[in-house]
Structure 1
Amino acid sequence: MRLLSLLAIFLPISLIAQDSGRKDFPNLGISFQIPDGWVGQENEAGYVMGSYTDPGIILMTAHQTQNLDQLRVEAQQGLHDNEGTSLSVDGEISKFSSNGLQALYQGSVGFQPAKAFAIGLVNPNGSGVSIIGMSTIDQFSDKHREVVTQIASSVKFSKVTVVESKSEWGNLLQNARLTYMNSYYSSGGSYGGYSTGGGYSDKEIIDLCAQGYFNHSSNSSMAFDTGGGFGSSFDQNAGAGKWKVIVNNQGQDVLQLNFYNGEVYEYVLSLQDNKTYLNDRRFFRTYGNVTDDGPNCN
């Protein structure tokens, strides 16, 4: 997962948009069941699930790793970034069902001692998924393993037919910079010796270049960069990956970012009073015509 922002990840959380039940992502050919007592929220990097009563979070992301050997290599690499996150495999990596691997991790997240349990599933015909449940060491329990296992067991893969959009969005977004800025904070009491106050601060920039590649950055109070199925991978091609505008099953235009490391981000596009919205979030669309606010396409 790339740059997923959440401030109070180890505490019972209150998600702004709360999903429950079965979730379906037809453009990725992935569907799964949110467990009872948990709610979810989609963001630019993947899907986040939390509970009102259980500490910790579940992170779910798509990847393009299509065989178990490569998935094992990525799982062994662990999760590491420059923001206080360093999780290494704790024990053996074992098989999960016929198309997955599972492993325990231990280390730190946001400079706090943490444990995690992850399951990665491969899909030979398209995007696979990684599901990671994590919490502080003292609050991590078998419940996190059970919830991750329950979600992984509910995953269904289907064939995807990508239809490229014939709308004007492709021209509108060429050589454009899309910028999103948002922040939120709330204070509260304490839970298990920790303050339950929390919030987030997000800034996301997407530079869409006419040559078909893009650059992406996200500055937040907390960040992860887990590359492919579990670990990190890099590419020497221009930008961070390739972008295009497609049509989803509901007939909506969708900006699709295909990172070289296999990750896929998708944003439903809409215009309201000539203002640009991605997944119902307002992004400023600029071209650098007046000030230095154009895309980085060098």
Structure 2
Amino acid sequence: MRFLTILLAGICCVQISWAQKTGHVNYSNLGIEFDLPPGWTGQEGDGMLVVGNPSVTGGILMMVHAYSLQELIRETRNGISEGEGNNLQLASEVARLGDHAIECQLSGVLNWQPAYAHMISMENPHGMGITILGISDQGNFDPNFFQQLCRTIYQSVRFKKPVKSQQSKEWETALANARLTYMDSYYSGGYGEGAVGGGYSTRITIDLCGGKYFKYRMNDQVSAGGASSTAMNSSQGRGQGTWEVMDNAAGGSVLVLSFHNGEVLMHDIGYQNDELYLSGERYYLTRGGEYAADCP
């Protein structure tokens, strides 16, 4: 599931004792509110809320996403894989929970350690949905306990139409009909007699059209031994999906690219020293001439 970014640093092996958020939690910028059970506290970070209890080994991860219910079902069946040592796969059927949520159990490894999880994921008709993931290690995972814990939070979730911040509105205006370009390359001449060099060149362009559709192109060249291969993902018609700028849980702005095939890319927007960054990567914003967005 691409919307899950698991950066646990041993959540299954330690007891969490933060005191940042307790009781009723209201993210009005996302249109999401819910209640944390008594004794449980949350800490924001890395686009998620990590919820823990000093007496429980393990915890709860709460993350937002932009999937519909059918997309959630498909992505959940694909499991969760985020880098080496983090892989969770289905350990039960994907069950419907009400009209707008799914529920399942997962098993696998986190930080290379055996782990189990109970997951509830909800779609939101007004915007960002939410995933509730209860995780513990192999020796401390009680499926009934974590199911009840996740369901308690789930039953308290309320969705409303989000209130978009002035910052995100301004970003939508600033990015409309602009081209965003990312470039990176590396080449090596090789070492020693007869050695063959190699390298790579990456160029990504995102045209954000005023009609809220986008065109996404990626040209990846990988060369070795004088040979090269090129893959181009070209746009057609009115683009490959729709885009918007939304508020994230940390109060910043995020560019959301929703592809027609159901894939969603979410990039935190940053700006410093007159330079634009998407998820920490430098992008060039252009409008005119040969570098203008392809938005007829």
Q: CA deviation at 1:129?
A: 1.0
Residue 120 of structure 2 corresponds to residue 119 of structure 1: yes
TM-score, structure 1 length as denominator?
Answer: 0.61
Q: CA deviation at 1:78?
A: 1.0
Residue 255 of structure 2 corresponds to residue 257 of structure 1: yes
CA contact (8 A) 1:63 1:129 kept: yes
CA contact (8 A) 1:118 1:132 kept: yes
CA contact (8 A) 1:287 1:294 kept: no
Q: CA deviation at 1:128?
A: 1.4
CA contact (8 A) 1:24 1:30 kept: yes
1:29 counterpart letter in structure 2: G
1:143 counterpart letter in structure 2: F
1:223 maps to none
CA contact (8 A) 1:116 1:134 kept: yes
1:154 maps to 156
Percent identical pairs in the alignment equals: 25
1:31 maps to 33
Kindly tell me: are residues 106 and 247 of structure 1, through their superposed partners in 2, closer, same or farther at Cα, counting changes over 3 Å?
closer
CA contact (8 A) 2:248 2:254 kept: no
* Distance in 2 separating the partners of 1:163 and 1:66: 24
- Tell me the secondary structure at the aligned position of residue 55 of structure 1: coil
Kindly tell me: are residues 115 and 100 of structure 1, through their superposed partners in 2, closer, same or farther at Cα, counting changes over 3 Å?
same
- Tell me the secondary structure at the aligned position of residue 92 of structure 1: coil
Instruction: Return the match for 2:64 from 62, 65, 72.
Output: 62
Could you say which structure has the larger radius of gyration?
Answer: 2
Q: CA deviation at 1:119?
A: 0.5
Q: CA deviation at 1:158?
A: 0.7
1:134 maps to 135
* Distance in 1 separating the partners of 2:81 and 2:246: 31
* Distance in 2 separating the partners of 1:253 and 1:81: 25
Q: CA deviation at 1:247?
A: 11
Of structures 1 and 2, the one with the larger relative CO (CA 8 A, separation 6+) is: 1
1:84 counterpart letter in structure 2: G
1:26 counterpart letter in structure 2: S
2:22 maps to 20
The number of equivalent residue pairs is 223
1:295 maps to 282
* Distance in 2 separating the partners of 1:113 and 1:140: 10
2:97 counterpart letter in structure 1: F
Q: Deviations over 1:55-109 (max 9, x none)?
A: 1121111122223x32211111111122211111112111212221100111111
Residue 79 of structure 2 corresponds to residue 78 of structure 1: yes
RMSD after superposition: 4.2
1:3 counterpart letter in structure 2: T
2:282 counterpart letter in structure 1: P
- Tell me the secondary structure at the aligned position of residue 282 of structure 2: coil
Kindly tell me: are residues 138 and 79 of structure 1, through their superposed partners in 2, closer, same or farther at Cα, counting changes over 3 Å?
same
Structure 1, unmatched stretches of 5+, are 176-208, 214-234, 268-282
